[in-house]
Structure 1
């Protein structure tokens, strides 16, 4: 489950929203999900925030809603679902807001209410009296009113949501936003009791957005109401923090994938278990080749119980008793089976990074994960390199890889320590991915 699922109508807005969540301490990814929403499902186990871009701003309202609905279904469940809209209200703002309202309500089985706070103070966008302003001017008095594809006819946020989405809208005015916080929560509660489906909130500063989010959460304590958002990003970040989602995910374990049977590899893995309390798993063999289903189940179980500081080792050989003499055909099949079992586990379990030993296993893993290759960032020790996957659903995943006859007894430990540092530096970057399905 992702903490936050954001559906954006264009790539630029998706990137901006993801960057805002990354600055707030979330691990964020943008996923191109226009016609291939399944990529969203591939990301939710790896990131705190998945921002799916549907490229629907200039499409007709019906198609835009369909794309948003598919993205929400693919990313469900999520603790918070957000509709990322344009700061100047271009596109299908009301239609996509309605789709978020309907789909989350359907999937959650509870009453859903949208918080719509379209202000983006850092970018000169403010909302006053329910009117969206661009650098202090109504939208219909700016160049966005003459946009060739999606001209903006009104800056009245509530009216736009009613026209395009048929939603029941209530507006929280700036005098309430800037007043007593308890009274602000009571004002929101009154609107909810009156049947509001969307609460549009005025805001001129980032502090106003934080106050609105805190009051929204306070107004629904003890209820099963589900909040969603429709905004350019800052209000969604504020609500995620108010809901206590920021910083909840401490990270994920590291995975070691070993297909090497060398004496040195066995020594290195033994040292890793002794010094770092790594959790070793033997691949389940059937006629010398790992049984993918059985091995994936073992790895699933190990990752289920692994914490952020743990290291899980999946290996074909852990000690001398595991040695055997495979045929040439079996030797070719072993790396693929091992990588396939790992991929199955990774589809439902996050890991912060992968260490591979054995060139054939590394190549098989890249192929299974749909990666085009490895972007090398460093050489940890001679013939052991660090980098990240390029392309595919696991794009950006941190990796260290080495051959089975490289280093000394502690080389694997050195590589895992480097991988930890690499992951820590990477955590606040935003990754972008595309589906493995052909376009």
Structure 2
């Protein structure tokens, strides 16, 4: 497994969910529970997960287990080490992080406790669960568990003598430059990072990776953030999402999707230049922003006011509605065409948008199946042509819930596996 990822998890359920995050992008992922299995399976796996079943052990016993696991995995030469722990911070996770740092000679660890898709976020160092501080929520979900502090740095300082640093949301909001400056300035020890969205997790991991950090600890969502840096990930496969509707619901769905997935996201701003330049000239900067790995998300500015401005500019240019629609369709086709060969699934909001891209696929039609991803969104695959049998999901833009596009993208990924 030289060059890939070693994961140490504290229970079977969490080990499996983290493994699924890596397996989705084509990495061979194996879960084991003893050192003999590490030796037997390690060379065949790009991601090897060692489940120590240590969540409810005493701190000394948990330290012993994870140290043994870390040493066994370290012999395989992984590019990264990941500690998976409980998003409710149950178990001696700080002791385990400390033990792994010692066993693997790691001077730095970035801790990401947030799992935004599961309603867990970290704000100002405090762990919130469905909007409530962790200690308060624990009284509801697990009354028998000891009620500990919701402040993650204090939890860690109780379990390790290493320095604990806080990376708060204001630095993350400052973008890549601010994050790079933070990691350049911080010394050895443990960094606890705020995160409220998957995009936050992705940004922190990207900056830490750039700064040379190779030990990360966290919960569900961390695997998705690490996938771009895993050797052998299936970068050629992507889900193409195009949202052409300007409805309020579509705007909410796009915002939710941007927070949930790692995608190249581009907003089409159809200002005066759109009416003055050729599709090629206007679209070239968007093409550059779409380049790279990951899923592709292309959408309009998504407000009624913006739509009204576009129509006013069209009228000023002497374009009627059919001319405007044809020009937008030509732009979408120009932007999407270079990336179609690596797109293995297609998701659309808005029927006209779906039709614009469908014309590019050279298909005979669609195969419609007898069930729906969502009400009004049938399961379908492309029939014939170069994209035969690839998922093609389209929904009306005017209704649904804010999670609909996330549901459709997740279904498309599942269908591909």
- What TM bracket, shorter-length normalisation? 0.5 to 0.7
- Asked whether 1:153 is paired with 2:148, we answer yes
On the 8 A contact 1:209/1:235 being kept in 2, the answer is: yes
- The structure with higher relative contact order (CA 8 Å, sep 6+) is 1
| CA deviation map 1:96-130 (0-9, x unaligned) | 1111111111xxxxx53111011111111101101
| CA deviation map 1:147-206 (0-9, x unaligned) | 4664240111111111112221111101111222111111122112xxx41111111111
Partners in 1 of 2:139 and 2:101 — Cα distance?
26
Alignment of 1:235-384 (within 5 A): 235-241=222-228, 243=229, 245=231, 247=233
On the 8 A contact 2:25/2:235 being kept in 1, the answer is: no
Specify whether residues 5 and 249 from structure 1 end up closer, same or farther in structure 2 by C-alpha distance, changes over 3 A only. farther
| Residue in structure 2 matched with residue 163 of structure 1 by the alignment | 158
- Which ranges of 4 or more aligned residues in structure 1 deviate by more than 6 Å? none
SS in 2 for 1:165: coil
SS in 2 for 1:62: helix
Specify whether residues 144 and 240 from structure 1 end up closer, same or farther in structure 2 by C-alpha distance, changes over 3 A only. farther
C-alpha deviation, 1:88, in angstroms? 0.7
On the 8 A contact 1:209/1:234 being kept in 2, the answer is: yes
Specify whether residues 113 and 240 from structure 1 end up closer, same or farther in structure 2 by C-alpha distance, changes over 3 A only. farther
| Residue in structure 2 matched with residue 43 of structure 1 by the alignment | 41
Partners in 2 of 1:150 and 1:45 — Cα distance?
39
Specify whether residues 150 and 9 from structure 1 end up closer, same or farther in structure 2 by C-alpha distance, changes over 3 A only. farther
Specify whether residues 95 and 30 from structure 1 end up closer, same or farther in structure 2 by C-alpha distance, changes over 3 A only. same
| Residue in structure 1 matched with residue 18 of structure 2 by the alignment | 17
C-alpha deviation, 1:218, in angstroms? 2.3
- Asked whether 1:126 is paired with 2:124, we answer no
Partners in 1 of 2:234 and 2:190 — Cα distance?
28
Specify whether residues 119 and 246 from structure 1 end up closer, same or farther in structure 2 by C-alpha distance, changes over 3 A only. farther
Q: Pairwise CA RMSD of aligned residues?
A: 2.5
Partners in 2 of 1:146 and 1:26 — Cα distance?
34
C-alpha deviation, 1:51, in angstroms? 1.1
- Within the candidate set 228, 231, 243, 2:218 is matched to 231
Q: Which has the larger radius of gyration?
A: 1
| Residue in structure 1 matched with residue 62 of structure 2 by the alignment | 64
C-alpha deviation, 1:7, in angstroms? 0.6
| Residue in structure 1 matched with residue 29 of structure 2 by the alignment | 28
- Asked whether 1:112 is paired with 2:107, we answer yes
| Residue in structure 2 matched with residue 217 of structure 1 by the alignment | 209
SS in 2 for 1:78: coil
| CA deviation map 1:248-279 (0-9, x unaligned) | 799xxxxxxxxxxxxxxxxxxxxxxxxxxxxx
- Within the candidate set 182, 188, 210, 2:183 is matched to 188
| Residue in structure 1 matched with residue 6 of structure 2 by the alignment | 5
C-alpha deviation, 1:56, in angstroms? 0.7
| CA deviation map 1:12-71 (0-9, x unaligned) | 11011101111233211221x2xx322122221111111111111111011111111111
Specify whether residues 179 and 232 from structure 1 end up closer, same or farther in structure 2 by C-alpha distance, changes over 3 A only. same
C-alpha deviation, 1:140, in angstroms? 0.6
Q: TM-score, normalised by structure 1?
A: 0.50
Give the gaps of 5 or more residues in structure 1.
Answer: 106-110, 221-225, 251-424, 430-439
Specify whether residues 149 and 83 from structure 1 end up closer, same or farther in structure 2 by C-alpha distance, changes over 3 A only. farther
| Residue in structure 2 matched with residue 202 of structure 1 by the alignment | 194
On the 8 A contact 2:79/2:214 being kept in 1, the answer is: no
Specify whether residues 144 and 57 from structure 1 end up closer, same or farther in structure 2 by C-alpha distance, changes over 3 A only. farther
| Aligned positions, number | 237
